[in-house]
Amino acid sequence: MLYLQCRWVILLLQFLLYLTFFKAIVFDTVQSVNMDATGVPSLVMRDLAEFVTLPFLGAFDVPPPPPAPNAPSTSQAAPVRSTSQKVTYIALGKKAMPYLVALFLKFKDRNEIYIDGTLEQIVAVRGLAPLFAFQR
């Protein structure tokens, strides 16, 4: 019971510091996967590599909510400031990259990482940040 309470405190701190609650739970689930079975570390590293690409390729703008049906027309109503909201995955990418590197260093002796393309995906992800930095 104490473990669960401590786990929730850690998740709450992650939420307050940088990750949204949903992203913190997703990352906590990835960290709790049992890595003993054959092929599991490779699959987890591929998923983490996907998480790392999200800040560069997965950000999107949130569409504005539709007007309420009983709201006055825009000509009669006061002007509304349009604030653009953007969903980004920067915190998730920053959290996933060190864990991805740690997993690679831990399981670098397994042949499956080199055979199924996991290493190529990790190397490609590591090159995304400089690529996007020079394109701006």
**pLDDT by residue (tens digit) across 13-54?**
454 445 677 777 787 888 888 888 888 999 999 988 988 888
In a domain, 107, yes or no: yes
Q: Give dist(CA 39, CA 124) in Å, integer.
A: 20
In a domain, 121, yes or no: yes
In a domain, 19, yes or no: no
Say if CB 30 and CB 103 are below 8 A apart.
no
- Domain holding 113, by residue range, is 38-62+84-129
In a domain, 90, yes or no: yes
In a domain, 102, yes or no: yes
Please tell me the total count of domains within the chain: 1
| DSSP 8-state symbol, 40 | H
In a domain, 115, yes or no: yes
Query: Which residue do the tokens 């997703």 mark?
Result: 26
In a domain, 135, yes or no: no
Which range is least confidently modeled, 13-22, 54-63, 123-132?
13-22
Write b or e for each residue in 71-95: b if 16 or more Cβ atoms lie within 10 A of its Cβ, otherwise e. Answer: eeeeeeeeeeeeeeeeeebebbbeb
Say if CB 21 and CB 29 are below 8 A apart.
no
- pTM to 2 decimal places: 0.66
Q: Read off the tokens for 87.
A: 């969903």
In a domain, 67, yes or no: no
